[in-house]
A and B are shown apart, each in its own frame.
Chain A
């Protein structure tokens, strides 16, 4: 348990460093005052302009020193207030902007992951059950092609095929309409192509991983045992073989979320979805620093949290459990057991970790 707290503290420290670097870089390399006032900011000879400049400086705390401004920002940030935007009006506040944009990106992410996992599992099972057959080889080549196809290229191809040639999906994205529904005005339908763009790449990556793990599992004795007992082929594949093969997929799934956030930047811009990705691109171009900073922090936090979760899982699912049974079987089994058992065993596990380290 102490180790977990230590890791969490480490994550907090890391986030602090990231926010400091971003904050400093933007304030040193950019010119915040110019972004707020426009050309007036350079007009220091005119007393009227000077007055406006002084007022703006005070309003946005630009007259304070950099560390002081950072401290102020960090204090507000922790309480959930992301500050005022660096624009002529400063409206809407960054927090409101994020609140408006975040759900759209979240929907897109969830849809993309569902598509990725939903495709990858049957795809991998089919390929692994016929390992090295023609089907398997074709699917390996296909997966490789999708892994090598950049997001933006895939977006163009899918848009061309489904929106322009086949005309099945909308080519205009409003995304202000309700989510659930099956007409072109609903975001469920509008998000299909962007989610498919992100999801296909993910599916291919997952398929490659899961197929390898499945092939290893299928060579285990318990699979032979199950088959000789008369369990159907399908049941062996989806019940006996799939579950023990899923673990490294779960790990990569968590890590992949952060890559998808990067992909969302491009995909949202291409399909014109007003989500976090488009918000950050707009903000960077306008040098609207508080918005950029807020989104950098959200993405970095998400990245770290998911990596942390994956790391915890990976510690539990140490691959050695497959060969070195005596030492690690309890941890391995804890995944299958009930929650209470799991907690009890976690305790034991924690203690052994403390001793060994």
Chain B
């Protein structure tokens, strides 16, 4: 038995307050919004992954437009028009000051932003989940050490830690992802620990223990599938938070060097001059960033509702 399902006759409870309490009452649906969000996230991920082979403009090419103008001697010559260019059929999101296409820059920027998000979530899930489950299952001194580690990590001002590490080491994609990923370990781990503790007392675990199952089997085959669902709902949130954190780092001038990320694109478009004359440079990436973060947040919200994952306000231990 891998997932836990109680076989109780719910019929007499239907329509009563108890039915609501055990999460039975109206049949839950993920809703249309969830699928739209999922569609957007899949779409943007595909665009990011396939960007180099998609028929889109080169993000670092300068598409300078020329026009015929009179020079000092009165002859008609080809003269470049001063970029940035506004939105047009040729450049759907306009261009930046170097006449580079903003749409393809935004899509290529998604590669880094999403990579940071997903690497962070995977790190948080793998390390945080493992530590949390070990702490919750074995309890005792192991739990004390791991919980203390979570507590220290949660009390650390996250963004300051991130800028510290990034400025001391380097600004590669991996350093940034791992740094943000470290910050995700504690929240994910605490959820995993709390879930493990509740499941460790359930009948199906006790049954497995009584039957003489190995501890590794109990953790991997009995606990993991149950702990994974709440962790998965949280991980969507972690991806969203990581994308935002990368943006914040970029705003402080500390994000991935050379390649453009969403945060960097917004920053380059948000000086006085750009905002006044070419607001589209900042607003294109802002819209992409906003929709992605909102979609991930909404999916996490809906899933939490769907699987009835409780938020944990447990700050004491």
A314 & B313 in contact (Cβ 8 Å cutoff): yes
Shortest CB distance A292–B (Å): 6
> Which A residues are within 8 Å of any B CB, using their own CB?
14, 17-18, 21-22, 25-26, 29-30, 144-145, 147-153, 156-157, 159-160, 164, 171, 251, 255, 258, 261-262, 265-266, 269-270, 280-281, 284-285, 287, 292, 295-296, 299-300, 303-304, 307, 310-311, 314-315
B152 & A152 in contact (Cβ 8 Å cutoff): no
Which residue of B279, B289, B313 is within 8 Å of A150 (Cβ)? Answer: B289
| For the complex of A and B, 9 pairs with smallest distance between CB atoms | A148-B294, A299-B157, A29-B168, A150-B244, A262-B159, A156-B270, A152-B251, A153-B286, A148-B293
Contacts of A266 in B (CB 8 A): 159, 248, 251-252
Supposing A152-B251, A157-B286, A266-B251 touch, asked if A18 and B155 sit within 8 A by C-beta, the answer is yes
Shortest CB distance B140–A (Å): 18
> Which B residues are within 8 Å of any A CB, using their own CB?
151-152, 155-161, 163-165, 167-169, 240, 244, 247-248, 251-253, 263, 266-267, 269-270, 272, 275-276, 279, 282, 286, 289-290, 293-294, 297-298, 313, 315-316
Contacts of A262 in B (CB 8 A): 157-160
CA A304 to CA B282, docked complex, whole Å: 36
Which residue of B152, B163, B275, B276 is within 8 Å of A281 (Cβ)? Answer: B163
A265 & B159 in contact (Cβ 8 Å cutoff): yes
CA A68 to CA B13, docked complex, whole Å: 68
Residue of A nearest to B253 (CB): A285
Which residue of B157, B160, B275, B276 is within 8 Å of A156 (Cβ)? Answer: B275
Contacts of A156 in B (CB 8 A): 266, 269-270, 275, 282, 286
Contacts of B297 in A (CB 8 A): 144, 147-148
Contacts of A258 in B (CB 8 A): 157
Shortest CB distance B52–A (Å): 27
B313 & A251 in contact (Cβ 8 Å cutoff): yes
Some 23 contacts from A to B, beta carbons below 8 A apart, are A14-B152, A25-B168, A26-B164, A30-B168, A144-B297, A148-B294, A149-B290, A150-B244, A150-B289, A156-B269, A157-B286, A159-B275, A164-B275, A251-B313, A265-B160, A269-B251, A269-B252, A285-B253, A287-B168, A292-B160, A296-B164, A303-B157, A314-B313
Which residue of B160, B267, B315 is within 8 Å of A295 (Cβ)? Answer: B160
Given A148-B298, A270-B251, A280-B160; 20 other pairs, CB 8 A cutoff:
A14-B151, A14-B155, A22-B164, A149-B294, A150-B244, A150-B247, A152-B248, A153-B266, A164-B276, A258-B157, A266-B248, A269-B251, A284-B163, A296-B157, A296-B160, A296-B161, A300-B155, A303-B157, A304-B155, A315-B316
Residue of B nearest to A251 (CB): B313
Q: Which of B163, B164, B248, B293 has the most CB of A within 10 A?
A: B164
Contacts of A296 in B (CB 8 A): 156-157, 160-161, 164
Supposing A261-B157, A270-B251, A295-B160 touch, asked if A311 and B316 sit within 8 A by C-beta, the answer is yes
Shortest CB distance A190–B (Å): 16
Contacts of A307 in B (CB 8 A): 155, 315
Contacts of A159 in B (CB 8 A): 270, 275
